[in-house]
Structure 1
C-alpha cells in the first residue's frame, strides 16, 4: 500500500532539489 500521494510527491521533490543542489555544487567545486 502506497503512502499518501501528496506526501510522496513532496518527499520526491525534496530529494530532487537536494541532489540537484549537491550535483550543482560538486560540478562547480571540481571545475
Structure 2
C-alpha cells in the first residue's frame, strides 16, 4: 500500500519537475542570448 502511494505522488510531482527544468533552461538560454 505504501509503495503504491509513494509511486503515485512521484507520478504527480514528475511533470512539475520537468516543467521546472524546462523553465530554468529557458531562463539560462535567454540570459546567454542577451
Aligned residues: 28
**Does residue 14 of structure 1 match 2:19?**
yes
Question: 1:7 Cα shift?
Answer: 1.4
Q: Structure 1 CA distance, aligned partners of 2:27 and 2:13?
A: 21
Give structure 1 regions of 4+ aligned residues with deviation exceeding 3 angstroms.
none
Gaps of 5+ in 1: none
Larger helix fraction of residues: 2
Larger Rg: 2
Gaps of 5+ in 2: 1-5
